[in-house]
Structures are given as structure tokens and as C-alpha cells.
Structure 1
Amino acid sequence: MTMRKRRPFSMLVSTLVPILALSLSISACQDEPQAEQPEEAPIYKTRTLGELSVPVQYSAPATAVSLNTSTLKAEISARIEAIPAQVGDRVATGDVLVKLNCADAKAQQQQARAHVSAARARAELAAQQLQRARSLQKKRSISEEQLSQRQSQDLAAQAELQARQAASLIAANQVKRCRITSPYPAIVSQRMGQVGELASPGTPMLQIVASEGLEISAEIIPTDAPSLEQASEIVFLATQRYPAKLRTLTGVVDSLTRTREARLHFVDKQPLPGTPGRLQWFDRRLGIPSQYLSQRQGQLGVLIAEQGRVAFVALPHAQEGRVAATDLPADTAIITLGRAALAVGDALPADSAADTGADQ
């Protein structure tokens, strides 16, 4: 039986020693501290506000409204003879719109005139008698009591004459009320009276809408109100563009619509009363596109490069998704790229800024 030869112990040791040395060397290398890698400078891009600015446009629902809408009513009791005005007619100041039967009113006017003539005759007689009484009193031919009586009669006659003249004036006005006329240039919008009907004081005849001096009524969001007051251009958009000018902005916020009413004049031409449309205006200030807005501590604003560091400028009236107006100078450097990685106060190395071309 052949015996297997045993390896010498020295050969085993010579094999293990290099392995152990290699393991210790690797372990020592892992335990050595690694050199710190330098932080990469932030990559950012800026553009001046003047380069990226866009027009700041606002709009609101609006309507062309008439300053006067009147319901014309009868002022006397009379039968309706004719209604020359029809719905849709344009009428001028003083045009006759309704004719009422005037026979009774004219008769009362004639009666009043007769009463005036009689009162005038009595007043003249009383004046003559007073003059004669004064002459006789100088001659001591009548007493003081008789003179006083003539004076009293003269005063009563004069008072009666004035009363009759007032009644005659009322009668003349009643005759004028037989014709209902337009108080201003207007459009007839509704007819209520009918020919042949008996009208009494207060009976509605026609409704008219003023065709001149129209205004624009617009409902403005309170945050947009300052921009309207400073607007460089305002137009009313309907079937065409109508230039407008702000007259007033009410100081009351409607509790239901949560808006403020603006009233504006038409500068030149104007649409028909009641025309619906939209009010459009442009802010005088520069506008920052919504994609460049950032939010910090619950406020919307823009990140800018100022003296080599990041600064945040809050825009109190800015809204997400809308162009924001600002009073910043046109040369303000707006950070347009890399905003998410920047914090307010971060240093901005000049060699880390990208060129000022289009944003990626």
C-alpha cells in the first residue's frame, strides 16, 4: 500500500502569509479618509425684465348702460287719442309720443281765463274807488273808516286776481299735459298704453331708453382695481372695439358677487344701450410671465440676481397662471433657470451663469 506524502508545514505558511498581507493592505486602504470632492457651482440662467416682459392684460364682463330709462305716464284723466311713437323708434327731445283728448282741459282753460278777466275788472274798479276815496278824504268828505274799507276792497280784489291767474296757469299746464313728449333723445323700448283707453294720472304709456350719454358698467375683481385706475388703454369689446375712459370706481364691494362696479365713458363712438361685452385694459407696468413666478414662504414673487446673490421679490397681487405686473426696473436680472435648486441668499458665481438666450 503506497503512502501519500505530506506537504511540509513551511510550504503552507509561505502560501498564507502573502494572502494575509494583501487583506491587511486592502483594509488599511478602506480605512483611510477619502479626499472631499468640491461642490459643483449651481447652474442658473438670468434674463433682464425688459427682455422677457409681456403686456399685462386684464378683462372683466361689462355692459353698455343708459343713464336714463323712463316710463312716461299720463298726468291727467283723458282718453288716449293716438300714440305716434312705436317700439324701436328713435325720438328727439320734444317729439310728441302720446296724444290725449284735450277737450275738457281746454274748456277748463277757457273758464280760467274768463275768471281772470272778471277778477281783473273788479281789481281795476277797486283801485279807482280807492283813488277817489283818497281824494275825498283830503277834502274831509269821507271818514277814515270809509277809506280803510276801500283799501281793504282793493287788496281783496288784487288777491283774487292773483288767485285767478294762478288757476289759469294750472289750466294751461293741464292742456300741455294732453301731449306726452320725449324729455331727451331716446329709443322707445316698450308700449303700454292703447288707443281708446281712458287714462288717469299715473297710467303708464311708454318706456324709453336714452340713446345718448351711455356708460359702461363693469364688475371688477378688487385685486384688479388698481390696474384699471392706472391703465394705459381701455376698450369695450362687443361687435367692435370701443375706446373708453374710467369715470369712477365705486368704493363698495358687492357682498354677493365680491366685485366692485366701475363706470366708464365712451371716448367716441358707442354701441346700442344694453349691449353686452367685455372690458379690456392694459397695465402701464412691465409684466412677468407666469412661468417665471416662484413661491417662497406662501408668497408668489420672482427670484432675482442681486449683487451676486439670490434675492426674492414678493408680488402681492400676483396670481398663479397669470401675468404679474411689477414696478421693478427693466434691467432687473430675473432668474429663469435653476430656481428650484436655489435658496434666498445663495451666492451666484458669475462663471456658473448660462448665457441669456432662450430658456430650456
Structure 2
Amino acid sequence: MDRIPEVAVVGAGIVGLCTAYALVERGASVRVYESGVPGHGQSGGQSRIFRHAHDDSRLVAFTREGRAVWDEWADRLGAELVSPDGVVALGGAVPDRLRILREAGGIPARPVDGTELRARMPLLADYQGPAMLDEGGGAIRTRTAIERLTGALGDRVVTDEVISVHPTGQGTVEVLSAAGRAQYATAVVCAGLGTARLARGVGLSLPVRPAAHVRLTFRVRGTPPERVACLQDSSGHFGETGVYAAPYPGNDRYAVGLSQTVGVREDGSFVDPGELVALNDRARAYVSRALPGLDPEPVEYLHCWVTSLPWSEDGMAVWEAEGIFFAAGHNLFKQAPRLGRALAGAATGEGLEEDLRPAAKLGRPR
């Protein structure tokens, strides 16, 4: 009879894969349950932004530590996982963000003028307002990260839907799945929209706010630039105050999303499906005004779920119940290697970091 692994990880998005990889680093045996294709749920798409700037200095420090893990894993997995071209941020929040980054220490970020802004972001229309460059940020190569981690985990990743995770009362955790039943020493649930449902099965009510999000991808006009930074635009100068954008590998395409989301009911149905169409239209209009270096006709659409916590768009937390850990939050792709190591430590008996407990409200503006 095959030996059952020590730890079950539910969900093979980026957080689940990073947690499993960090467990393997520690020599722990692990099984990862995924009902679909790894990395094609809330971790879908070709790029994400790695940025250090946050409103909570604790989260800035957490992110700084995470950047080192991204670099370490890039060397080990033999692939670029974060581009070296930085992140440009626009808008009135720039001075406060720079102050928090300076206080954190060790993060190369600085204001930039119009000349350097054009060099870093050649796709952008003329802009003369406050701007900064996070030199240690960049575009996360999401597909590469998912593929390399999945490949490294090999047959530890199984295609199976988890129905229930619960303590047995005998110091173990039982996982009931579509294809079987197994017991583990502990379990980590990183199932995105499904995390709150599984947590309810052990008496936890996670304050996760589900919503839907839109991100469009556009072709770069002409020859792709050798260097192009990611973009965060909260300026309102081009008609929107919550825009983020990141290049694809090769810089021939650029993904643009609005931070606004579309609300959903508890059963997952949309309050107003037309709001998704409206967000698509607003993103296209923004590109026409702000990014003349892009063809304004989208070539790809990504619609995905968002699971945010009430204290911050960047908030994250981990709930614990009798040997089961439930991770939840939004904008977690950039945090995944560092969060994965923290979850692996908790699952192997080191205890959960205090800043990750729900009472800490990590990500809350200070």
C-alpha cells in the first residue's frame, strides 16, 4: 500500500504550488489536490505585478522578503520569474508610498521626472504629475512560475476535487475528495473561492468578499520596446484612478486591468452581469487615452474571481482549526513564495507567524 503523504495542500494555484514546493524544501511529503488545470483559476493569465509599495509597513517588509525568495527560486528552477524592468506608479499617493518604502529600508524606489518616465514607460501618453519607480519590482512571469513549480512537484499534484477537509479527533486530518478518502498529519487550504466553503465545514466563517475582475491584453504597436515597466495609475489624469498593467514576456503585449470589481452573491451569481461588460469598455477607453503605444483593440480577455478581505485590497490572513490552515486574501501572486514558506513552516510544527493571523489584519493601512 502506498504511503500517504504528511501534508495535504488543497488548490494548485500559485499559493498552493508555492506551499507544496516549500514543504518539499523542508523534506516533507505532500499531495496537492487540484480539480482543474494548475494555475488556471485566480492565478490565470500571463503576467502579474511584483511591487513593494503597500500602505502597511509590515506588508512592505513581507514583500521585500518575498522578492528574495522569488530570486532564489528563479536560480533553482532555471528561469526568469520576475522581470528586471521595475514598476512605475503615478498619482498623489506617490509621496506617502515612497515614505513607507524608505522607512522599510533596503528597497530601491525613487521619484522620477517626465524624461525618465518616458524611458521606463514608452507606451504611456504625456504625464507630468507625481511618479515613482520601484526598481526592484517587475512583471511576474506567471505561466513560467506555474509550469516550473508544477514540473518540480511532479506526481505530487493530483487531479481531484476536494469535497471536505476535517479533523478526525485523533490528531489527523481527513480529506474527502471526488476520488477517495485519505488522512494526513495536517492540511493547507489555498483554494481561492472555495476556501471559505471548506472552512465553514470546520466551523470557521472567513470574511472573504467574493467578486469578479476584468483584465484585457493589447498588442504593442510597432517594434516591442526593449524595456517597459509595469504600471500602477491612481492619478485620475487619464480618467481612471485604479489601473494596473504589466507586459508579457517579449514586451509585445501588455495586460491592463482596473482595480474595480463586480459584486457577486454568496451563491456566486452576479448582481449585475452587465457590470463586467462596462469594466471591459472602461479598460479599452483608458488604453485609448493613456497608452497610445498599444493597439486599443483587445486581443485577450481574462475574467477571474477575486477574494478580498474587508480591511484592505492587499489584505491577507491565515485561519487555523485543529491542524488545518486556511489562507485567504487578494493580490497574493507576488506574495506566494514567501507566504508558501510561512504556511509550510506552520504545517510542519513551527507555528503560524503572528502577522498572518486574522487579528493582525496584515495589509491594513497604518
Name the TM-score class by shorter chain. under 0.3
Normalising by structure 1, we get a TM-score of 0.20
Q: Which has the higher contact order (CA 8 A, sep 6+)?
A: 1
In our comparison, the structure showing a higher alpha carbon Rg is 1
Normalising by structure 2, we get a TM-score of 0.19
